[in-house]
């Protein structure tokens, strides 16, 4: 399973990249806004930091606008993937961008049918939002499982990018189901190596090592 970081903060991305935890990056307008920087500058810096795919989201909501914005975003770097929100207009834009050889990531997916349509439109990535479904007492991971079954049934090449990840169990469940990618916030990434027995074991090793004659 590939690990992407869900962030537009270049310092977070550099730290996670140093840990080998950045197979790619997803951004969205809210994450970019937090940086206080121009969108294109943020994306250029991220694309230079990682060789993996970097999702950059359009702001237009009409097909022509999404297509134009997407073509411009794709010029920023070879590893840019154009992020398109799920909608009728978005599907038109995905088909047009795909026909131009531009990879797309269809975002804000909350139903298996939306994911099916994204795959049929030719999206390279589909982003179902697990955490936001959990937030409204709906089983977000069930969506990942349903999408996985649909994509296997019909041999779709679209990769499932499990998004809106809130904690390590989301990552475990996504891996057990067989999501292709999880995109993880930095604060979750930095918790993944932690375990009390690891800490306890290391402390004992170091304590015992002190008894070894030098
Ligand atoms: O960036 C897409 C998605 O991962 C954002 O999820 O719910 O943390 O805003 P959320």
CA distances from 175 to 141, 144, 170 (A): 11, 10, 9
Q: What is the pLDDT of residues 43-80, one digit of tens each?
A: 999 999 998 999 999 999 999 999 999 999 999 999 99
Helices marked H in the chain: 10-18, 29-35, 39-49, 63-74, 88-99, 112-121, 130-134, 140-154, 168-177, 186-189, 196-209
So what's the pLDDT on residue 188?
A: 97
Structure tokens belonging to residue 98: 């795909």
So what's the pLDDT on residue 94?
A: 98
Q: What is the pLDDT of residues 109-130, one digit of tens each?
A: 999 999 999 999 999 999 999 9
Q: How far apart are CA 71 and CA 46, in angstroms?
A: 18
Residue 49 lies in a domain: yes
CATH of the domain at 39: 3.20.20.70
Q: Report which secondary-structure segment, H or E, holds 125.
A: strand 125-128
Model pTM score: 0.95
Structure tokens belonging to residue 147: 């999408």
CB of residue 29 inside a 6 A radius of ligand 1: no
Catalytic residues: 83
So what's the pLDDT on residue 158?
A: 98
So what's the pLDDT on residue 145?
A: 98
Q: How far apart are CA 102 and CA 93, in angstroms?
A: 11
Q: Which 8-state DSSP code applies to residue 27? A: -
Q: How many domains, the chain? A: 1
Atom of ligand 1 minimally distant from the CA of 131: 7
**Pocket perturbation via mutation, ligand 1, pick of 4, 28, 162, 185 by most ligand atoms within 8 A of CB:** 28
Backbone phi and psi for residue 26, each to the nearest 5 degrees, phi listed first? -115, 135
Structure tokens belonging to residue 156: 């779709």
Atom of ligand 1 minimally distant from the CA of 185: 8
User: How many A from CA of 206 to the centre of ligand 1?
Assistant: 40
Q: What is the pLDDT of residues 180-207, one digit of tens each?
A: 999 999 999 998 999 999 999 999 999 9
Nearest to residue 82, comparing CAs of 98, 64, 99, 63?
98
Residue 132 lies in a domain: yes
CA distances from 15 to 12, 190, 201 (A): 5, 10, 26
So what's the pLDDT on residue 185?
A: 98
Residue range of the domain that includes 161: 2-209
Residue 214 lies in a domain: no
Dihedral sign, Cα of residue 104, residue 23, residue 168, residue 58: negative
So what's the pLDDT on residue 140?
A: 98
Taking the CB of residue 97, how many other CB atoms lie within 10 A of it?
A: 27
CB of residue 132 inside a 6 A radius of ligand 1: yes
Q: What is the pLDDT of residues 8-42, one digit of tens each?
A: 999 999 999 999 999 999 999 999 999 999 999 99
Residue 50 lies in a domain: yes
The residue-averaged pLDDT of 122-151 equals: 98
Nearest to residue 82, comparing CAs of 124, 128, 38?
124
Under 8 Å between Cβ of 50 and 79: yes
């Amino acid at each position: 399973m590939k690990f992407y970081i869900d962030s537009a903060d270049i310092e977070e991305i550099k730290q996670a990249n140093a840990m080998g935890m950045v197979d790619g990056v997803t951004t969205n307008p809210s994450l970019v806004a937090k940086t206080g920087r121009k969108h294109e500058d943020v994306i250029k810096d991220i694309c230079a930091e990682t060789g993996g795919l970097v999702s950059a989201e359009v702001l237009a909501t009409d097909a022509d606008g999404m297509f134009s914005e997407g073509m411009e975003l794709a010029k920023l770097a070879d590893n840019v993937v154009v992020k398109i929100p799920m909608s009728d207009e978005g599907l038109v834009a995905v088909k047009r961008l795909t026909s131009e050889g531009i990879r797309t990531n269809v975002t804000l997916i909350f139903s298996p049918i939306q994911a099916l349509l994204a795959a049929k439109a030719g999206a390279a990535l589909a982003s179902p939002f697990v955490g936001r479904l959990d937030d409204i007492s709906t089983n977000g991971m069930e969506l990942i499982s349903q999408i996985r079954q649909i994509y296997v049934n019909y041999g779709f090449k679209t990769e499932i990018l499990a998004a809106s990840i809130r904690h390590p169990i989301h990552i475990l469940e996504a891996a057990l189901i067989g999501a292709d990618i999880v995109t993880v916030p930095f604060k979750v990434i930095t918790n993944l190596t932690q375990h009390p027995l690891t800490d306890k074991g290391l402390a004992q090793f170091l304590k015992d090592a002190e008894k070894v004659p030098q």
